[in-house]
Every structure is written in structure tokens, then in C-alpha cells.
A = this chain, B = another copy of it.
Amino acid sequence: MTRPVRVGGTVVGGDAFTVVAGPCAIESRDQFMTVARRVRDEGGAVLRGGIFKMRTDPHSFQGLGPEALAYADEVRRATGLPFVVEVAAIEQVEVLAPHADALQVGSRNMHNYYLLKELGHTRIPVLLKRGFAAELREWLLAAEYLVAGGNESIILCERGIRTFERETRNTLDLAGAVWARQRSPFPVLVDPSHATGRPELVTPMCLAAAAAGLDGVMVEVHPDNAAALSDGFQALTLEGFSNLTRALRPILAALNRSLSSVEQGIPHP
């Protein structure tokens, strides 16, 4: 049985299907507000948006950093949506925690056991992405680092593994996500934006995740993806996001499920 995890006013891992959405990186107050409103209006239940980015190239855009914290607060208040943000280093935990409802451990940090130990000592929900070359067993052991510290508010997220195939950015291991859900008590999401790197594959993979019985998806949305400062090529447009939730609803209904709703008035932790 999956143990639901409360993220602000949203419960992840019960009967409902949670759509986590937002831009890869918060680029400005307006960009984030625009995306967040659409996410809320169309059925998204958790907001995402990067503040400190992990970039392969040291000369790439690394996120707005502290400047974005105020935007996050404002958008969170305005929309009522809980907010999940990636924590890329131990010292960011205390910086980000007051502004977020959950902290994300990114793919490159799944093996960063010191960060996991630190998060194990907090009680903030953790969204733990699978390393892009992590075996399923290693992913569950990474969650064990959190549990060992006393933090059991864990959401797993498969985001594609690295294979020989290059038409897609990674290979979404949907069966592996189902395997993890069958063997662990944690809700499991998939992130088809990073997994496929192609917006035209994101919606089919979200529908597939719903049909396979997973607990939700995390998708990137950008109002103008050609102008995005990071990974814009893979983001859904605002309209693409509307189409996604419209397509999800009948499949969820056929399974006696629905999109997660956000309970308003829940004070952020």
C-alpha cells in the first residue's frame, strides 16, 4: 500500500493523480506567475520551478538564485498551489525550505548521500528523482537514506535513464516506475519532459503513466519555449498544458480516479 504524502494543500499518492507543473527555471516574476496561473486553472496541483540549477556546462544559466525566492512566495500565495523546488546542495536546504512545500533531489544528486542524510533529518517532503543511470534497487536504497534519518515523506520520480538511444533525450522507464511502486510504500511520479526531451511525447507518456496506475506526473511548461533560458525545447506550451489535463481526465475517470485537487487554506509548513 502506498503511503500518501501531503505537500501543502495537495495529497500525493492517494486515489487522485497529481500533476506537478511549471517552468524548468524561474526566469522572472511574470514568467512564473503566468505559468502558475495556467497550471492552477487547468488542474495542476503542485507547482515546480528551478531556483538553483544543476547545469553540465559551468557557463550555462544557473538559475536566478535567491532573487527567485520572493517570486516563489508571491506566486504560491496568489495561486494557492504548493511549490516544490530542487535543492542542489546541503547549504541550500535551509535557504529553500521556508519557501517550499517539498524539496526535490535531482537526478544528478540521487547518489549524493550526504545531501540525503541532511534531508533525512528534516521533516520536509522530499521528491527523489531517480539517477539517470541508477538501478531501481539503488533508487530505493537512496530513499532508505531518508528513512534512516527519520523522514518518510518521500515521493519517487522516474525521469528517464541514459541508454544508447538518442532520438529521445533519455529513455522513460515506465515499467521501472511501476516496479518501484509495487515494491515500495512511496508514491511514484514520472517526468516525461526530461525523459523524452520532446513535447510531442510528453502528453502520450502522461496518459500512459495514468493508465499504468502511477501517482502523477511532473511536466515542464513555458509560456514561450523558444525563449526559455534552460531546456525550453522540451517544455509544453501553455496551450499544450491545457490539452494535457483535458486528455488526462477521461482516462482517469475510466479508472475511477481524478486529478488531485488543492485544499485551500492549508498554511504552508
Of listed A59, A91, A144, A251, residue having the most chain B CB within 10 A:
A251
Q: Does A21 contact B (CB under 8 A)?
A: no
Interface size on A, residues (CB 8 A): 66
Give CA–CA (A138, B166) in the complex, Å.
Answer: 12
CB-CB contacts of A65-108 with B at 8 A, as 1s and 0s?
00000000000000000000000111100000000000000001
Give CA–CA (A165, B211) in the complex, Å.
Answer: 23
Give CA–CA (A59, B147) in the complex, Å.
Answer: 12
For residue A269, which residues in chain B have a CB less than 8 angstroms away from its CB?
none
Beta-carbon nearest neighbor of A209 in chain B: B208
Q: Does A113 contact B (CB under 8 A)?
A: yes
27 pairs, A vs B, C-beta closer than 8 Å: A57-B144, A58-B113, A89-B90, A89-B114, A108-B112, A132-B133, A133-B133, A133-B162, A133-B164, A135-B165, A136-B168, A161-B165, A163-B164, A163-B171, A168-B176, A171-B175, A174-B205, A175-B195, A175-B196, A175-B201, A179-B201, A182-B200, A204-B213, A207-B213, A208-B209, A211-B211, A254-B254
